[in-house]
């Protein structure tokens, strides 16, 4: 049996996801799979925010290098960790599946919902999008930045004296920690990140595995993934930008996409939405991005970029 090498980060979640894809490749494609476990810059630096040290690309840089220098054939990513621009010579070849894309509230007091938290409650989270949308909904909250893997963030509920933490439902579900979720927050309250709940498989552009793993993707999942990626690409946001984009299939076989960009404090939000057929998924994503830009998103992005430059300086 031929062998395929799968590059992955070494976190519990990354290994769980990669082993799942390895089992699908063996069962459905007939190739033996081997994991190539790598430690990325984002994994090594845990004491600073991603926005200040280089963004989401720090979770994929070393993995893409392993693809390009031939140490691996396929990379498995959480799609939301993949920046708008990937390495030259690489492609996102397939999106094999999506699980619950919503954000999860995990409380110190079990059974608590976001609207139940007391005034001024301390809530931990690790993304600018979640911070902005939490403040939009509950401006009274005291938000505490978090880094680390999923179990580490859950432990900080008690270690950092938090009322709750907000994580991705997908990661908790994949790790068998669904029972720690007290509320699956509706997208109307917190619009998910681009790619949240999706897995993305990356290969070299000229590698035979690019076409082989296409068989692992369902048309519906590929459609929504590419619409969200097109939305992200047009806006050019990274993890320092509170940006959300969420596409859903429609009953007619097309898709509907909602997107937004927010100021860091959640007080100014530019939103847009649009629908279209499956064949126009990327065009729908780009069109919704243009709507967001036209409703003030361009100004918000410009101010965020200027603030970032001032901080870097």
Q: Is 162 helix (H, G, I), strand (E, B) or coil?
A: coil
pLDDT digits (tens, 9 = 90+) for 163-221: 999 999 999 999 999 999 999 999 999 999 999 999 999 999 999 999 999 999 999 99
pLDDT for 306 = 85
The Cα–Cα gap between 77 and 107 comes to 28
Q: Quote the percentage of the chain above a pLDDT of 90.
A: 83
What's the CATH fold of domain 103-185? D-Maltodextrin-Binding Protein; domain 2 (3.40.190)
Beta strands in 157-254 (DSSP E): 164-168, 183-185, 199-204, 243-249
Residue 296 DSSP symbol = I
pLDDT at 42: 56
Check residue 44 and give its pLDDT: 55
Answer whether residue 280 shows pLDDT above 50: yes
Residue 311: band (very low, low, confident or very high) from pLDDT cuts 50, 70, 90:
very low
Q: How confident is the model at residue 53 (pLDDT cuts 50, 70, 90)?
A: very low
pLDDT reported for residue 43: 57
Kindly report which listed range (11-25, 146-160, 173-187, 249-263) carries the lowest average pLDDT score: 146-160
pLDDT at residue 239 above 70? no
State yes or no: pLDDT of 122 exceeds 60.
yes
Q: Report the pLDDT averaged over residues 30-54.
A: 69
pLDDT of residue 60: 87
The hierarchical CATH code for the domain 1-96+198-217 is 3.40.190.10
The pLDDT of residue 238: 65
pLDDT at residue 57, rounded to an integer: 61
96: phi then psi, degrees, rounded to nearest 5? -70, -30
- Residue intervals of the chain classified under CATH 3.40.190.10 are 1-96+198-217, 103-185
In this predicted structure, the answer to whether residue 281 has a pLDDT above a threshold of 80 is yes
What is the mean predicted confidence (pLDDT) over 46-58?
A: 51
Stated as kind and residue range, the H or E segment containing 217 is: none
Mean pLDDT lowest for which of 23-27, 80-84, 175-179, 207-211?
Answer: 80-84
DSSP 3-state assignment of 44?
helix
Res. 312: pLDDT tops 50: no
CB 90 within 8 Å of CB 67: yes
Mean pLDDT of all residues belonging to the chain: 91
Closest CA to 87 of 99, 72, 102, 97: 72
Query: Does the pLDDT value for residue 107 go beyond 90?
Result: yes
Kindly list the catalytic residues: 81
Indicate whether 309 pLDDT > 80: no
How far is the C-alpha of 185 from the C-alpha of 62, rounded, in Å? 33
pLDDT greater than 80 at residue 46: no
Does residue 50 surpass a pLDDT of 80?
Answer: no
Tell me what pLDDT residue 87 has: 92
Superfamily, domain 218-313: Porphobilinogen deaminase, C-terminal domain (3.30.160.40)
The rounded distance, in Å, linking the Cα atoms of 135 and 242 is: 12
* Banded model confidence at residue 54, pLDDT cuts 50, 70, 90: very low
* DSSP sequence for 229-281: HHHHHHHT--TTS-EEEEEEE-TTS-EEEEEEEE-TTSS-EEEEEEEE-GGGH
């Amino acid at each position: 049996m031929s062998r395929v090498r799968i590059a992955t980060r070494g976190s519990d979640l990354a290994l769980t996801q990669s082993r799942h894809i390895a089992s699908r490749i063996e069962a459905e494609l007939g190739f033996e799979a081997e994991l190539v476990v790598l430690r990325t810059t984002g994994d090594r630096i845990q004491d600073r925010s991603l926005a200040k040290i280089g963004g989401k690309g720090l979770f994929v840089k070393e993995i893409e290098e392993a693809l390009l220098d031939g140490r691996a054939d396929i990379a498995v990513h959480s799609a939301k960790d993949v920046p708008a621009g990937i390495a030259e010579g690489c492609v996102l070849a397939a999106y094999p599946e999506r699980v619950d894309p919503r954000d999860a509230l995990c409380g110190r007091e079990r059974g608590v919902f976001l609207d139940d938290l007391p005034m001024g409650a301390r809530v931990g989270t690790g993304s600018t999008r979640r911070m902005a949308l939490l403040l939009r909904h509950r401006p009274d909250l005291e938000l505490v930045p978090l880094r680390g893997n999923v179990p580490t963030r859950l432990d900080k509920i008690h270690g950092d004296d938090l009322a709750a933490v907000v994580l991705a439902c997908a990661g908790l579900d994949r790790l068998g920690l669904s029972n720690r979720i007290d509320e699956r927050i509706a997208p109307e309250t917190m619009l998910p990140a681009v790619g949240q709940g999706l897995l993305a498989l990356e290969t070299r552009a000229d590698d035979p595995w690019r076409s082989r793993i296409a068989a692992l993707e369902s048309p519906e999942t590929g459609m929504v993934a590419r619409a969200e990626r097109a939305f992200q690409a047009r806006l050019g946001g990274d993890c320092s930008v509170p940006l959300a984009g969420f596409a859903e299939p429609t009953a007619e076989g097309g898709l509907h996409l909602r997107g937004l960009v927010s100021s860091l404090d959640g007080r100014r939000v530019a939103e847009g939405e649009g629908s279209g057929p499956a064949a126009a998924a990327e065009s729908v994503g780009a069109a919704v991005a243009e709507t967001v830009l036209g409703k003030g998103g361009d100004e918000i992005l410009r101010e965020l970029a200027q603030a970032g430059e001032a901080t870097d300086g």
